[in-house]
Copies of this chain bind each other. A is one copy, B any other.
């Protein structure tokens, strides 16, 4: 469904951004080049060895027009060309050292221009700006958008627990209808974990992608020789990438090294994806109990992994 307001907002944004770019185009970065020429030079500098056709496909220019600009560049010594041995109709274009200098200058000015624009934009807004731009690109041009940055796993930092509580409470409310008692539970669990944190026996990991938190898990001391795996969570957008397994393996490895004999966890039957991960990691269901602590009726489950066995089976 496409709302008229959606279309209006997009039209308004297009007008806004046309202005923004139009102003840029005025006297393109205070150089004797046009915006189009700048774009061509950019493409030439960014990649090596292009043919005119490729350039054309990407920039959508009139071939005659492109041909003339390239001629000018060739005469000015910004680019040179050699016939493509594979296709003698085609020339392979290459940027010269002189051309590269212009390219760098243009890039430098463009960067400074943007830096000026950002002068009065605080860090948080900058982050939102970048995020919004990437969102727009990803939606409007799914093919061309940059591949998602890699997921990194890092230790806890301040604010992570709050994020985790919000993300998990919201997601499980939406997906399974859990109520606010669930948020309360994880807030208490998370709070106690940090309050009594023992760096030798406990650990927490946050998965991050492109600076945005997307997953978590932690190992808490369960007393005796039992470690507890808690608060495993994956944002919907990173499910199915094997990240859950990685996080659980992280926990198993740490618990083993820390000298625990068992890794135990409590979960609910509705969380089938997580349970699948536990199962394949070797956890065994040791007890179940029906409850309705979080609104809908569900079955709480305790799973355990014998860490010695796990080690053996991994070897």
Measured CB to CB, the residues of A under 8 A from B are 1-7, 9-24, 26, 35, 39, 42, 59-60, 110-111, 114-115, 117-118, 121, 123, 125-126, 128-137, 139-141, 144, 146, 156, 158-170, 173, 179-181, 183-195, 197
* Cα(A188)–Cα(B184), bound, Å: 9
28 A-B pairs whose Cβ atoms sit less than 8 Å apart in the complex: A2-B118, A3-B126, A4-B111, A6-B130, A7-B111, A7-B114, A9-B133, A11-B114, A15-B42, A17-B17, A18-B21, A23-B60, A125-B139, A129-B136, A129-B140, A132-B135, A136-B136, A156-B180, A158-B180, A158-B183, A161-B183, A161-B187, A162-B167, A162-B170, A166-B166, A181-B194, A183-B194, A185-B191
A67 to chain B, nearest CB (A): 18
Among candidates B14, B128, B195, residue contacting A184 with C-beta atoms closer than 8 Å = B195
Q: Which residues of B contact A24 (CB under 8 A)?
A: 14
* Cα(A112)–Cα(B163), bound, Å: 36
Question: Is there contact, CB below 8 Å, between B23 and A39?
Answer: no
Please classify the interface of chain A as helix (H, G, I), strand (E, B), loop, or mixed, using the class held by over half of its residues: helix
Question: Is there contact, CB below 8 Å, between A169 and B162?
Answer: yes
Q: Which residues of B contact A187 (CB under 8 A)?
A: 161-162, 165, 187-188, 190-191, 194
Q: Which of A161, A170, A181 has the most chain B CB atoms closer than 10 A to its own CB?
A: A161
Q: Which residues of B contact A23 (CB under 8 A)?
A: 60
Question: Is there contact, CB below 8 Å, between B191 and A195?
Answer: no
List of 6 A-B pairs having minimum Cβ-Cβ separation, nearest first? A162-B166, A187-B191, A162-B165, A188-B191, A132-B132, A184-B194
